[in-house]
Amino acid sequence: MQTTPQRSQLFIASCMALLVTSLSFGIRAGILGRLGVQFELNASQLGTIAATAFWGFPVAVVFGGMLVDVIGMKKLLLVAFVFHLLGIALTIFAGGYWSLFISTLLIGIANGTVEAACNPLVATIYSDNKTTKLNHFHLWFPGGIVIGTLLVFLLDKIGIGWQIQVGLMVIPTVLYGYLFSKLDFPVTERVASGITSKEMYKAVFLSPLFWCMIILMFGTAITELFTGQWIDVLLKNVSDNAILLLTIETGVMVLGRAFAKPVVKQFSPQGVLIISAALAALGLYLLGHSSGNMLFVGALVFGMGVCYFWPTMLGFVSENLPRTGAIGMNFMGGAGMFAVSVYMMFMGGYYDRLIAAKLPTGVDIKQYNDAASGTEFANALNEAKKAAGPEIINATLIIPIILTVAFIGLYFYMKGRKKEVLKAL
């Protein structure tokens, strides 16, 4: 392990940067419905805007993964700082679809750049304890969502507009930019170990296990992030406090990741992934088939399920495929976010079609969207949305069911591989 005198300060600054990433997710999830009303956007357009953050992320995380060893982690994080400020400012002064599209893209690029630098940074400064420390680092993603959704909920209650809610993200952004500008960074673990770039790319592109993990990352990311980003839109007609479902889900994730060490030690990363997928499937089932207080039980179980997905997937690759280096971890993150963006756009259009199918044939949907609250048209639209939201969740349920089976296979594969290594010794 490299000697890193400022290890604690680097970790704190990394957590602050991830906090901005998660605040953008939580606040956007909380205001998405209002953006649709204010700028007269349908669910398909909202899905595209939300998905834009997930486009910018994979582009940034993949290119950042290739650049991090060339320009260094510090410069990459200062680039993220600039993009975060630009994206926040443009969101505040948005005037419609395209300005929201571009501002969300900028924030997505910033978010991806943060992960492109911080994931290998955490793995480098804690090379003796990667999976646990990646879980500790990534607890700030659900942590920021909890903070963001609570801010939206509370500020809405006192009548403070969404522009100010978005503007609050400037505070942690300036803090992490300042901290990183003052700190010294180590080289990545791959560089310190003497593994060449050629060996790293070979380990990435020629490893069947790595590509298997990429495919599984599609499913884990969609299960966690699509549901979280859209939960307020999908269930706001089922629950009066749908955004609090996201708060509960992410609150459970914070606690789970904080106590990741004994869990990972007891079950192994692949064992944790099996349990996670099974609980995520059960949680989605409850969210899609419940109402009232049982929805909060569903959010609780779902949070327990997706809690360890993202950091454990990254930790598994870093520990079992160390030659893939920073680019391996960042390809994983980029693949996950890309899958979410595609799925989100598809489901946005599907949600619109479901709603239209539940209204009288040949109606002008705009007439229903523009109807005043309490009118016959408004009530009919609410009933259509109340039925369509759970159907989207039920369609997504198949993904964690497949993941459960796949992770059981991974568990036995790794067990067999470990036996082969022991025999060779």
Judge whether 140 and 58 are in contact, CB under 8 Å.
no
**Is 26's pLDDT higher than 80?**
no
**Is 291's pLDDT higher than 70?**
yes
Cα–Cα distance, 113 to 348 (Å, whole number): 26
Calculate the average pLDDT of the chain.
85
Q: Could you report the per-residue pLDDT of 267-287, keeping only the tens digit for each?
A: 888 999 999 999 999 999 998
**Is 147's pLDDT higher than 60?**
yes
Which pLDDT belongs to residue 425? 47
- Name the residue range of residue 175's domain: 7-424
Among candidate residues 342, 338, 340, 333, the one with its CA nearest the CA of residue 64: 333
Judge whether 401 and 282 are in contact, CB under 8 Å.
no
Judge whether 64 and 117 are in contact, CB under 8 Å.
yes
**Within a domain: 387:** yes
Q: How confident is the model at residue 424 (pLDDT cuts 50, 70, 90)?
A: low
**Within a domain: 394:** yes
Query: DSSP string covering 266-319, please?
Result: HHHHHHHHHHHHHHHHHHHHHHHH--TTHHHHHHHHHHHHHTTHHHHHHHHHHH
Cα–Cα distance, 6 to 330 (Å, whole number): 24
Which pLDDT belongs to residue 404? 97
What length is written for the chain? 425
**Is 239's pLDDT higher than 80?**
no
Give one word for 94, left, alpha or beta, with left for phi > 0 and alpha for psi -120 to 50: beta
**Within a domain: 298:** yes
Cα–Cα distance, 203 to 253 (Å, whole number): 32
Where are the alpha helices (H) located in 72-127, listed in sequence order? 73-92, 97-125
CA distances from 367 to 44, 359, 375, 389 (A): 17, 12, 11, 20
Per the structure, how many domains does the chain have?
1
Cα–Cα distance, 340 to 230 (Å, whole number): 11
**Within a domain: 111:** yes
**Within a domain: 137:** yes
**Within a domain: 1:** no
**What proportion of the chain, given as a percentage, has pLDDT over 90?**
31
**Quick check: pTM over 0.85?**
no
Q: How confident is the model at residue 32 (pLDDT cuts 50, 70, 90)?
A: confident
**Within a domain: 2:** no
What would the mean pLDDT of 142-164 be, rounded to a whole number? Answer: 83
**Is 256's pLDDT higher than 60?**
yes
Token pair recorded at residue 354:
């479901």
Which pLDDT belongs to residue 303? 92
Cα–Cα distance, 223 to 218 (Å, whole number): 9
**Within a domain: 379:** yes
CATH code at 396? Answer: 1.20.1250.20
Q: How confident is the model at residue 11 (pLDDT cuts 50, 70, 90)?
A: very high
Looking at per-residue pLDDT, the higher value among 376 and 297 belongs to 297
**Is 210's pLDDT higher than 60?**
yes
CA distances from 216 to 46, 309, 314, 332, 399 (A): 27, 10, 12, 10, 10
